[in-house]
Amino acid sequence: MLPAMFKPRAFAASFSLVPTEGFFPRSGKGRLAVMNSTSGASTLVEPGTGQTNGIQRLTIIQPDDWHLHLRDGDGLNAVAPLSAGIFRRAIIMPNLKPPVTDLAAALAYRDRIMKALPSNAEFEPLMTLYLTDVTTRKDVKDASESGLVKAVKLYPAGATTNSQAGVTDLFGKCLPVLEEMVEQGLPLLVHGEVADQMVDIFDREKVFIETVLTPLRQKLPDLKIVLEHITTEDAVKYVESNSDGKVAATVTPQHLLMNRNALFQGGLQPHNYCLPVLKRETHRRALVAAVTSGSSRFFLGTDSAPHERHTKEAPCGCAGIFSAPIALPLYAEVFDQADALDKLEGFTSLNGPDFYGLPRNSNTTTLVKKRWNVPTEYGFGPGTVVPMWAGHALNWNIE
Ligand SMILES: NC(=O)N[C@@H](CC(=O)O)C(=O)O
Ligand SMILES: [Zn+2]
Ligand SMILES: [Zn+2]
């Protein structure tokens, strides 16, 4: 199986301290196969400060994960300790079956998460409500006043995993609830894709920005919005052009490290399939430029979304990439490649809490440049889950 690799040739020069081969996932075909990949990215250099390439060890304020799927039941018990071992807090996505639509459900889910953690874990789940056509102002007010629910999540109905109960008509059905969110200061987190099957799947984020986000901002300029797991240059530009502090975006490791070739490299690659789907290389480069620019409007959200192996390696495979245990090394790889390790901490640990109005963490995490291999799978209830870049070598690890 060929790896999902697209690493631009120009990056090799910046890896003088570590053998270039070290980073390339082992494909059985060796380095040449990777270098000849059809990514179309062979001459690109990412922006950076040009000051950080020699760094071998990096201590940063402990990161939080601003977009995490922990699932439920046995799956929750398997993955929650993995996130809790790395991140201090995480925004917990509510797309369970049935979804987490009110305070009672959020508190019950929070209890199940706490029970899934080791007794010494210092991990704070930041709960969210799943917005539906019938969510009420009271639902939002109660949730906000609890202090434990930090946001409301918009899934356009049909756009992604477990979004069937999502919103069918945001402006027709949800405006009073959105007004309540403005009053409560509760951000709206958006899966920013239209669900219209007539819109090309690679264009759904751009069309969402044009047809939903732009008018939404006009109607409710004081609503705080996080455009989740952005994948396009269009989204980067949108976030950058909204400079009033109300709009931010999370960025996943997969959208920073892979382009859409990774879906088909050497054959169909179900473990690289997520929504929004990977985009072309120009978009990936725009994302890397955005997160390494030092802008405070972009922050870490893994969108770690475990699905049991057989539900992804299937005739109709689920969307979602499991990255929680390796996400931090993957992000370090991105910033190192861009020679911008000095911008990593802002992205992983400062911009998120600042946007949410929460305190920054006080303890630290140390990353070291040391080769290791991503495990090929993790336990997931009775089955297993395959992580992003399973079995491949990474250059960074958590000390
Ligand atoms: N990202 C994904 O591909 N899947 C997520 C849902 C989501 O975040 O859209 C999931 O819950 O599996
Ligand atoms: Zn989503
Ligand atoms: Zn998600």
374-395 confidence digits (pLDDT tens) = 999 999 999 999 999 999 999 9
Is 39 within 8 Å of 16 (Cβ atoms)? no
**Pairwise CA distance, residues 77 & 113, whole Å:** 8
Q: Sorting pLDDT into bands at 50, 70 and 90, what band is 275?
A: very high
CATH superfamily of 57-398: Metal-dependent hydrolases (3.20.20.140)
User: Mutate which of 66, 70, 95, 252 to test ligand 1's pocket (most atoms within 8 Å of Cβ)?
Assistant: 95
Residue 251 CA from chain centroid, whole number: 5
Can you tell me the mean pLDDT for 165-174?
97
Judged by its nearest atom, the ligand closest to the C-alpha of residue 70 is: 1
Residue 304 CA to ligand 1 center (angstroms) comes to: 8
CA angle at residue 210 from 208 to 216, to 5 degrees? 85
Can you tell me the mean pLDDT for 271-284?
98
Residues in contact with ligand 1 by the CB-under-6-Å rule are: 69, 95, 160-161, 191, 274-275, 303, 305, 319-320
Judged by its nearest atom, the ligand closest to the C-alpha of residue 320 is: 1
Catalytic residues: 67, 69, 153, 191, 229, 303
Q: Sorting pLDDT into bands at 50, 70 and 90, what band is 9?
A: very low
**Pairwise CA distance, residues 188 & 224, whole Å:** 6
Strand partners, 304: 68, 321
What percent of the chain stands above pLDDT 70? Answer: 87
**Pairwise CA distance, residues 64 & 262, whole Å:** 27
**Pairwise CA distance, residues 260 & 72, whole Å:** 30
**Pairwise CA distance, residues 161 & 158, whole Å:** 8
Residue 2 CA to ligand 1 center (angstroms) comes to: 24
Q: Sorting pLDDT into bands at 50, 70 and 90, what band is 53?
A: confident
Q: Sorting pLDDT into bands at 50, 70 and 90, what band is 332?
A: very high
H or E segment and range at residue 33:
helix 30-35
C-alpha closest to that of 355 among 248, 276, 200, 279: 248
Can you tell me the mean pLDDT for 181-189?
98
Token digits for 333? Answer: 């790889």
Please determine, for residue 35, whether its predicted confidence score (pLDDT) is greater than 50: no
Terminal Cα-to-Cα distance of the chain (whole angstroms): 30
Q: What is the pTM assigned to this prediction? A: 0.89
Token digits for 290? Answer: 């955005």
Atom of ligand 1 nearest to the CA of 159: 9
Residue 7 CA to ligand 2 center (angstroms) comes to: 25
Please determine, for residue 25, whether its predicted confidence score (pLDDT) is greater than 70: no
> 388 vs 12, 53, 262, CA distance in Å?
22, 25, 11
Atom of ligand 1 nearest to the CA of 162: 11
Residue 53 CA to ligand 1 center (angstroms) comes to: 34
Atom of ligand 1 nearest to the CA of 67: 8
Residue 97 CA to ligand 1 center (angstroms) comes to: 13
Q: Cite the beta strand spans of the chain per DSSP E.
A: 57-61, 65-68, 89-92, 124-130, 149-154, 188-190, 225-227, 247-251, 298-300, 364-373, 378-380, 383-385, 393-398
User: Mutate which of 68, 91, 100, 161 to test ligand 1's pocket (most atoms within 8 Å of Cβ)?
Assistant: 161
User: Mutate which of 67, 68, 69, 386 to test ligand 1's pocket (most atoms within 8 Å of Cβ)?
Assistant: 69
Q: Find the range with the poorest average confidence among 41-50, 240-249, 334-343.
A: 41-50
What local confidence, expressed as pLDDT, does residue 54 receive? 86
Can you tell me the mean pLDDT for 224-229?
98
Atom of ligand 1 nearest to the CA of 160: 9
What is the C-alpha radius of gyration for the chain, rounded to an integer number of angstroms? Answer: 20
Residue 307 CA to ligand 3 center (angstroms) comes to: 12
Q: Find the range with the poorest average confidence among 49-63, 93-107, 365-379.
A: 49-63
Please determine, for residue 32, whether its predicted confidence score (pLDDT) is greater than 60: no
Give residues with Cβ within 8 angstroms of 396, minimum separation 6.
328, 329, 332, 333, 336, 367, 368, 369, 370
Atom of ligand 1 nearest to the CA of 274: 3
C-alpha closest to that of 251 among 269, 236, 263: 236
